[in-house]
Structure 1
Amino acid sequence: MGGAVSAVAISSILIANRGEIACRIIRTARGLGLRTIAVYSEADRGAPHAVMADEAVMIGPAPVGESYLRSDRIIEAAQATRADAIHPGYGFLSENEAFAEAVDNAGLVFIGPPAKAIYLMGNKAEAKRRMLAAGVPCVPGYEGDDQDDLAFAEAAQDIGYPVMVKAAAGGGGRGMRLVDEAGELADALGLARSEAASAFGSDELILEKAVLRPRHVEIQVFADKHGNFIHLGERDCSVQRRHQKVIEEAPCPVMTEDLRAAMGSAAVDAAKAVDYRGAGTVEFLLDAAGDFYFLEMNTRLQVEHPVTEMITGLDLVAMQIAVAQGEELPLRQDDLKLNGHAIEARLYAEDPSRDYLPATGRIDLWRPAAGEGVRVDAGVATGMEVSPYYDPMLAKVIAWGETRDVARTRLVRALKESALLGPTTNSSFLVDILQRDAFIHGEATTAFLDEFYTGGFVADEPGGADVALAAALLLDDDRDAAFAAAGYVSATQLGWSSAPLSPIPLHLTTDRGVFDIGAECLGAVWSVTVGDDLFAVALGQRTDHAVRARINGRTIDAVAAISGSDIGLSVSGKCFRFHRARPGMEDDAAGSSGRVVAPMPGLVVDILVKKGQKVARGDALAVLEAMKMQHQIAAPIDGVVTGIDASKGDQLASGDLMIDIGDAAE
């Protein structure tokens, strides 16, 4: 199906990425007998991907612009370690045509598509023009060179509201804003330009007609150097927050054979239009009538590729490597067989109850689930720090089943059994989504989260039994430490104490309140009062952070990690972090004063107010960038700005004072 293609033997691969995708590529490469080289930043020293690889090279400081986006340092690392090829993973430089070209010019194999294909599909405006020419269905929109606000305003009026503002040079939800009416357009353009420039180095934008309540369905395509093009079925990625995917599944719940054939054919046509090679994903919006529209093409491996692997039995990374070596695809379109159903959930370090605010900090414990049909792709480990410099995704939990509901219930169980203690995660939110009737019945669209979480997600609050268990564990550790210091055998091992402790006052705080507790050791049982409730807590043997306890006669299995005055606790998939506070400590809840502090480490993108300016609760005060997203900082109270302690360009730590708001009467 094409001219002669020279083969190239790859024996060593440098992975130009980090986290779970770097670990995932290393696993396949090593399974193929290949030598692997990792790169890492100063923040990722000792990270799992650097430890897993045969060699690891430090390429710069933590900020991505000084490390993972430094193509020169990555190529130098590949040459210094005698790598044959570079795999870019996803994100970072994976869709950067200049990087692909530089890799080729350095005499290395780029495990991805040709630079020209990356360019043609990487710019949404150019890609859309190509797709229209190829006959691929597209959403009406504006892809013009005139980037003036007036040009966008006129185009939006012609298209008709609502419209979607998008970054032309990238994806992943960055630089994307939904605009419902003309008065919102200017602000949306400003925010989108700023975010796009920061994420992709280009502030070029496009407009598209907003297709309301569609499904987001993408087709996995593959092409080799011999002219063979195939698709590997679809994935439904409709459950999204901020236009970033949260839950993905394959196949799509409403897919038919005819629709799959039509979408698959359109996706292959899109790939042929740019002479594609390797793995790619063509994304579509699918409306209720069964009509579909080209959205974009991602010229790389997708985060959600495991669900395709689980229903096809294929290793997509191995296929990428084979194609890069000049081999033919291992199957033709008629060979494709889909088996069962797979669903993936993205575990993020963020707080869904606080507008998905990113979380950082030390991971006190990471214990992933295992079991039939369960796969966990992760790039984290106990003891490592979740930094503000990178995307907040920590792991992907995937489950396969003979039917969709078997896959769903397995995934719920796997999420509950995967414990990550330390930074706040979205684990409970993921479980809640999977147990909603609309998701159970396969009815989720891109409007799912807006429709079913109109007031936001209500975070798990620790119940009295959870607090009592945390108190008993902390105090049991105190008692064991005291016995050990005195040369005695642990009271936990003995199961009794000949000298019970006197009643102990204890104050445990969470980020949502303070619990005043009274506790007394009665032999092998702790008697714990939490408010007006009394709990009898009998602790069983603790092994590898797992503890079984009986609380008021009921057996509870939990995972716990104690670090100094802090304790992380996971009970039935719900995670809590308690801090042992000083007596009399009061809750300083967010919004209880006019002190506005940075809710996370981040870069100050803009200060939107001036000293002496009147503000109302909810007014935007500043824009903070963290974990590759921009967040508006709002006024917690009505008042007057009495002090501004941060400036544009400042790098803040969590808790740093930004703005003071005083009483308007002052």
Structure 2
Amino acid sequence: MFSKILIANRGEIAVRVIKTCRRLGIKTVVVYSEADADSLAVEMADESVFIGPAPAAQSYLVADKIIEACKQTGAQAVHPGFGFLSENAGFAQRCADEGVVFIGPNPGAIQAMGDKIESKKFAEKAGVSCVPGHIGEIDDTAHAVRISEEIGYPVMIKASAGGGGKGIRVAHNRQDVEEGFPAVRAEAKASFGDDRIFIEKFITSPRHIEIQVLGDKHGHVVHLFERECSIQRRNQKVIEEAPSPLLDEKTRAEMGAQAVALAQAVGYDSAGTVEFVAGQDKSFYFLEMNTRLQVEHPVTELITGLDLVEQMIRSAYGEPLAFKQDDLKINGWAIESRIYAEDPYRKFLPSIGRLVRYDPPAEGERETYRVRNDAGVREGDEISMYYDPMISKLCTWAPTRIEAIDGMARALEDFYIEGLGQNVPFLAAVMDQERFRSGALATSYIADEFPEGFAGTAPTALQTDIMTAAGVAMHRLLAARAGGAPRREWTVLVGHDSRVVAVDETDGVLSLYLAGEDRTLTLDDVVWLPGRPQFKGALNGVPFTVDVAPAAEGFVIRHRAAKRKVLVLTARSAELHGKLPEKAAADTSKMIISPMPGLIVSMDVEVGQTVREGEIVCVIEAMKMQNIIRAEKEAVVKTVSAKAGDSVAADEVLVEFA
């Protein structure tokens, strides 16, 4: 077995590989850029090598620096993780030429299947059913428009070397292509160092289902069943699960057999994923093959009991697979939620900054489910604008799908992040939706369910009770510390909902009488002290966790996706409070405000210019994603406060109109 492996990656996946190597007794080396000098991966690895500035094109994508780091440290093999150089056939060949083992498929397999254009050509020759499209490179925007109109809208513009949801746009008309093609090309160049683009038909309301394959250097290939990755935004997977709620045994076997046949045809000898677009009728088409470890591999590990990183290492070392297809079985159900540094209340735009507080749920067994959290960050770390905004991958496993979903909802309650925008409330909202729980998924799920964007959810009756109980319990504790006498009755405002609550405390149980019914909060289960951002308790014996923040006269409390201001008042205070006027929102109708922190790629207007509705004002980039800002109506530019190359913060005024 290898004695030392270099990890040519960063963040969560670097930490993930280190953990497996530690278990196998293998020493590790990580490379790092300026932005990652103080990262968790650098702290955990046995050795680390600095490879350059923060932009990936100057560090993680430079093959010469990776090879030199191997020579410098004596690493015998390179694990590329995902992204960066993981699907670069030239890098895999370079490793072989330099006597370094590439922990991934052989260069020929990467060349045949890793490139999106070449994989489609190969699949067509092999008789695999493919999505209709233009299998070939696209010269320029005009060429892209001609091809799109020949295929018929809508079409998908995709980077040939793409992955991780980067370098993809859906175009519904000519204007979308004219704007989307150069944007995708720029994203592809920045993310992968390869700006080749192809175009294919976009299948309406599809499901995204992928088959995990695993091969060795002795001609053996198996599949490890499927994952469903249909919950996506901007073509970036958000929630994944294994197995898929769509497939029956017959369809699962057919998809698996097709994936294995494709892998065998190219001599595949590592972990890889064959992706399919599936219809609700269980029809499916080959989409592409990712010749690397997938971000969502933990859910496959949870239902099979295999460590895919270990299997990749053993295969690269030349060991044969220790099992056959008939030895593999699906055990239970697993869900993965990607915790992103993004603001779901601002259309999921990136949110960079420091993790002032980072408190994930404890990993391990619960009564009915298991928790796993793959992360590459610690409290105090900074989420950089230069890389993918993923903070961690929260996973739950349980014997059944509903138990896994319920476990995920509870784990998300326990996850606390402060200092930047994050998508935990959104993920919790999905877990509570009946459509998701029923398994009626599609890649359009987020657009279907949140057509106006995400604004949280209204509290259910149970959530209102939870917020009431938490508010009363915290108020009583604060009052007791101040020396106040306990009251037997309060008026509790949960948002605009007012309720009179009779309170009684006996033998460590706080009884709350709400509308003639009682709710009991077991004080022994309460975990909260003034200043703590989370309140944990059990209402009627059912555990819950809420986020809490102090507010004038009360608290702001969030339970899953529902957030309200909660005031615990005397009857007289409640009467007076009802007479207070509401504060009017500031008028920003004549301003262009930055929707996210990032870098100004271009400022397309100047003072005195008349802009028309829909005209581009500026382009902002963060975390390898470009966001085009348009004028909402015709107006004359009064001031311009930023220029190309400037870094801007969220809510910063960029342009003001007369």
The corresponding residue for 1:511 is none
Indicate the SS of the match to 1:90: coil
Quote the Cα distance in structure 2 between the aligned partners of 1:300 and 1:341. Answer: 23
TM-score with structure 2 setting the length: 0.82
Q: Which residue of the partner structure matches residue 239 of structure 1? A: 231
Q: Distance in 2 between matches of 1:627 and 1:125?
A: 25
Q: 1:408 to 1:235 in 2, by over 3 A?
A: same
Question: Is the 1:615–1:640 Cα contact (8 Å) retained in structure 2?
Answer: yes
Residue of structure 2 in register with 1:391 after alignment: 388
1:204 aligned residue (185, 196, 208): 196
Deviations 1:141-168 (A, max 9, x none): 1023452444433333332222222112
- TM superposition shift of 1:568: 12
Query: Could you tell me how far 1:197 is from its partner in structure 2?
Result: 2.3
Task: Please give the alpha-carbon distance, in whole angstroms, between the structure 2 residues aligned to 1:43 and 1:543.
Answer: 35
Kindly indicate whether the alpha-carbon contact (under 8 Å) linking 2:138 and 2:198 is maintained by their aligned counterparts in 1: no
Q: Does 1:255 align with 2:252?
A: no
State how far apart, in whole Å, the 2-side matches of 1:323 and 1:135 are. Answer: 28
Deviation of the 1:140 alpha carbon: 1.1
Q: Distance in 1 between matches of 2:238 and 2:111?
A: 27
**1:393 alignment partner AA:** M
Distance 1:645 1:333, change over 3 A: same
User: Partners in 2 of 1:413 and 1:281 — Cα distance?
Assistant: 30
Q: CA deviation at 1:64?
A: 1.9
Aligned equivalent of 1:640: 636
After TM superposition, list the pairs within 5 Å mapping 1:458-607 onto structure 2.
Answer: 458-459=455-456, 496-497=481-482, 542=529, 545=532, 548=535, 558=546, 571-573=558-560, 592=588, 594-607=590-603
* CA distances 1:508-530 after superposition (whole Å, capped 9, x unpaired): xxxxxxxxxxxxx999xx99999
Contact 1:546–1:557 (CA under 8 A) maintained in structure 2:
no
Cα distance in 2, alignment partners of residues 623 and 641 from structure 1: 16
Change (3 A) 1:137 1:367: same
For 1:68, what is the secondary structure of its paired residue? coil
**Partners in 1 of 2:175 and 2:81 — Cα distance?**
40
Return the alpha-carbon distance in structure 2 between the equivalents of residues 360 and 587 of structure 1. Answer: 29
1:117 partner letter:
A
CA RMSD of aligned residues (A): 3.9
- Corresponding residue SS for 2:183: helix
Task: State the distance in 1 between where 2:195 and 2:389 align.
Answer: 23
| Conserved? CA contact 1:528–1:535, under 8 Å | yes
**Matches of 1:379 and 1:544, distance apart in 2:** 27
Q: Which ranges of structure 2 fall in alignment gaps of 5 or more residues?
A: 504-509, 511-525, 566-582
Aligned to 1:658: 654
Check if 1:313 corresponds to 2:305: yes
Quick check: 1:422–1:568 contact (8 Å CA) kept in 2? no
Between the aligned partners of 1:622 and 1:652, the Cα distance in structure 2 is 12
Moved over 6 A (4+): 460-470, 526-540, 567-570, 575-578
Question: Does residue 17 of structure 1 match 2:9?
Answer: yes
Please state if 1:413 is matched with 2:410: yes
Corresponding residue of 1:484: none
Q: How many residues align?
A: 608
Which segment drifts farther, 627-636 or 379-388?
Answer: 627-636
Aligned counterpart in structure 1 of residue 269 of structure 2, from 265, 277, 281: 277
Specify the code of the residue in structure 2 equivalent to 1:624.
I
Question: Structure 1 vs Structure 2: percent identity of aligned residues?
Answer: 45
Inter-partner Cα distance in structure 2 for 1:640 and 1:467: 50
In structure 2, relative to structure 1, the CA distance for the partners of 1:544 and 1:261 (3 Å cut) is: farther
AA of the residue aligned to 1:70: V
Contact persistence 1:604–1:650 (CA under 8 A) = yes
CA distance in 1, matches of 2:495, 2:218: 72
> Is 1:79 matched up with 2:71?
yes
The 1:228/1:71 distance shift into structure 2, 3 A limit, reads same
Given candidates 599, 604, 607, the residue that maps to 1:611 is 607
Taking structure 1 as the reference length, the TM-score comes to 0.81
Q: For residue 178 of structure 2, give the secondary structure of its aligned residue in structure 1.
A: helix
Partner of 1:486: none
Is 2:103–2:312's contact at 8 Å kept on the other side of the alignment?
yes
CA distance in 1, matches of 2:315, 2:527: 54
Look up the match of 1:374. Answer: 371
Secondary structure of the residue aligned to 1:542 is coil
Report the Cα distance in structure 2 between the residues aligned to 1:428 and 1:540, rounded to whole angstroms.
21
CA distance in 2, matches of 1:415, 1:340: 20
CA distance in 2, matches of 1:99, 1:635: 44
Quick check: 1:169–1:204 contact (8 Å CA) kept in 2? yes
Alignment of 1:160 onto 2:155: no
User: What stretches of structure 1 of length at least 5 have no aligned partner?
Assistant: 1-8, 477-490, 501-520, 579-585
Q: Are residues 1:631 and 2:627 paired?
A: yes
1:176 aligns with 2:192: no
Q: 1:529 to 1:402 in 2, by over 3 A?
A: closer
Return closer, same or farther for 1:559/1:355 CA change in 2, 3 Å cut-off: closer
**Paired letter, 1:643:** T
| Residue 574 (structure 1) shift | 5.6
Correspondence for 1:433: 430
Contact 1:14 1:78 in 2 (8 A): yes
Q: Structure 2 matches for 1:295-314, cutoff 5 A?
A: 295-314=287-306
Secondary structure of the residue aligned to 2:529 is strand
Aligned to 1:268: 260
**Equivalent of 1:227 in 201, 219, 223:** 219
- The superposition leaves residues 287-310 of structure 1 with CA deviations (integer Å, 9 ceiling, x where unpaired) of 133221111111110011011111
Deviations 1:28-62 (A, max 9, x none): 11011111222222222322222122222332232
Quick one: which amino acid aligns to residue 237 of structure 1? C
- 2:44 maps to 1:57: no
How far 1:359 moved relative to its partner? 0.7
Q: Tell me the equivalent position of 1:445.
A: 442
Structure 1's 450 and 548: CA in aligned 2 closer, same or farther, altered over 3 A?
closer
**Cα separation, 1, equivalents of 2:545 and 2:256:** 47
Q: Is the 8 A contact 2:138 2:196 kept in 1?
A: no
Shift of 1:576: 8.3
Distance change (3 Å), C-alpha of 1:438 and 1:114: same
Distance in 2, matches of 1:434 and 1:357, equals 21
Give the structure 2 partner of residue 144 of structure 1: 136
More deviation in 218-227 or 260-269? Answer: 260-269
The amino acid of 1:392's aligned partner reads P
The residue that corresponds to 1:122 in the other structure is 114
SS of residue paired to 2:167: coil
Residue by residue over 1:162-181, the C-alpha shift from the partner in whole angstroms, topping out at 9 and shown as x without a partner, is 22221122123322222223
Q: Secondary structure at the match of 1:605?
A: strand
Aligned to 2:514: none
Deviation at 1:196, TM superposition (A): 2.1
Aligned counterpart for 2:451 among listed residues 450, 454, 457: 454
